[in-house]
Chain A
């Protein structure tokens, strides 16, 4: 019987964490909008999300052991994120293209390299991470990572320009009218030497 109480205690804590994380992420979605809820919900959602983040130890200093223990548990149990896939709306995604400049003036275009169709999903996730990050330095490092793999395949290239754009998807009606997906320019990075910092351009 004592063993059953131990299982019950663990399950209560485990489910509580799952529900708290899911609620926090749902509230974040409402706070960031747009959703079908009235705009007045945004303010409440922001406050509630902050409270739930605090309950999950996110407001404690990074060095706090309780925060680290909680973070470790949710990561190893796979419950660190909510389940709002493709919700509340499906984002357009991001595209990255490399402009390869050869010494003789020739220019070629290349997409991020993957060998198998299965790797297309992880790469799409990688591009989303690049596009969504608000940190310029992190974005540059991640773009450079992909640029390096292209460089390895084309060692005679003089410089590489990486162009990141967001994908604008047409609606079904626009599609029937002939409109197709388009790219909106976001950032461009010029890489000349492998270790030199990139020259960044953005719109």
Chain B
């Protein structure tokens, strides 16, 4: 029993450097920045008016405590501030927070602010949010709970922060790793239940379906014999992720393959933001130190437990 407990704690609290956390912070900071910039001209029209109110009303049927833009809009209305001004302010704050996360200034505060503001936007605009928003929420949720700041941040240099507990850093990385394993396992499992992924018709449909039809179907159709291979390759890659990502040797194949898959999704389907967030999460979880020589990490002496 003691050995199981030791193994379990050893697995869940492996000593880790904070490089992965720096990758997550900078990556998500970039993601938030690009997300804000890409929606700058449509932000207000997507998040204002009836659609936002309906989305928030439906959200209230689930919970009254989930953050939403409506809280700010209602409060500002009492001060005579128009909805559009509030939405613009929220957008500007999100952009600033994204930039701040990239450089790592006030890391913890900005991670919380980024999570909160993005969550407000994603929930108030639930009709216009998609998978990318879901993964960005997940990433920011873990980022704000992780032991920030990391040693690559501006905070570290300015405040001369103390090194964080390597076991705690390892724990939060493990949480992200386990979550990604569940994500890919269920994504692969659900895909292999559809006949279209076996015969490749789903690859074709995914590539010609508006608004993902970036590549001319006339060009795509020339490669139709590769679609079944691509379909099976995708779900095998996803389904096998929880098995092959843990071993260092197979990880050197699996991780680049998964990242390459997301690059192809970005280029061939125009899902740049979705691909970027997935690559950031993957690199933070399993990428750092993969191709470097293993470093010995000195464990911090732990306080004796009662």
Contacts and interface: CB of A to CB of B under 8 A. Distances in A.
A181 interface: yes
Contacts of B298: none
Contacts of B201: 171-172
29 contacts: A2-B305, A4-B12, A19-B182, A26-B189, A29-B190, A35-B195, A36-B192, A68-B62, A68-B64, A71-B63, A75-B62, A78-B136, A78-B138, A84-B186, A84-B190, A85-B131, A87-B190, A88-B191, A88-B194, A115-B41, A117-B270, A119-B38, A123-B128, A123-B211, A125-B129, A142-B127, A167-B210, A171-B204, A172-B201
Interface string A39-66: 0000000000000000000000010000
A122 B46 contact: yes
Interface of A: 1-2, 4, 7-8, 11, 14-15, 18-19, 22-23, 25-26, 29-30, 34-37, 62, 68, 71-72, 75-79, 81-93, 95, 113-126, 129, 138, 141-142, 144-145, 148-149, 167, 169-172, 175-176, 181
Interface string B236-278: 0000000000000000000000000000000000110100000
B163 interface: no
A50 to B, nearest CB: 18
A123 B201 CA distance: 25
B209 A83 contact: no
Given A71-B63, A125-B127, 16 more contacts: A4-B9, A72-B66, A77-B141, A78-B135, A79-B138, A88-B194, A88-B195, A90-B205, A91-B209, A92-B205, A93-B210, A116-B40, A120-B211, A121-B271, A124-B211, A169-B209
A90 B209 contact: yes
Contacts of B192: 36
Q: Which 9 A-B pairs have the closest CB atoms?
A: A88-B194, A78-B137, A1-B305, A118-B38, A122-B128, A84-B190, A115-B41, A87-B190, A119-B42
B198 A36 contact: yes
Nearest to B194: A88
B135 A86 contact: no
B46 A119 contact: yes
B218 to A, nearest CB: 8
Contacts of A78: 134-138, 141
A186 B187 CA distance: 30
Contacts of B128: 122-123, 125-126
Contacts of A87: 187, 190-191, 193-194, 197
B209 to A, nearest CB: 5
Given A29-B193, A77-B138, A124-B210, A141 B50 contact: yes
A76 B141 contact: yes
Contacts of A122: 39, 42, 46, 125, 128-130
Contacts of A90: 196, 202, 205-206, 209
Interface of chain A: mostly helix, strand, loop or mixed:
helix
A124 B201 CA distance: 21
A148 B52 CA distance: 14
A11 B142 CA distance: 12
Contacts of A120: 211, 270
Contacts of A129: 127
Nearest to B227: A172
Contacts of B125: 122
Nearest to B203: A90
Contact of A115 (B42, B129, B131, B209): B42
B12 A8 contact: yes
Contacts of B130: 121-122, 125
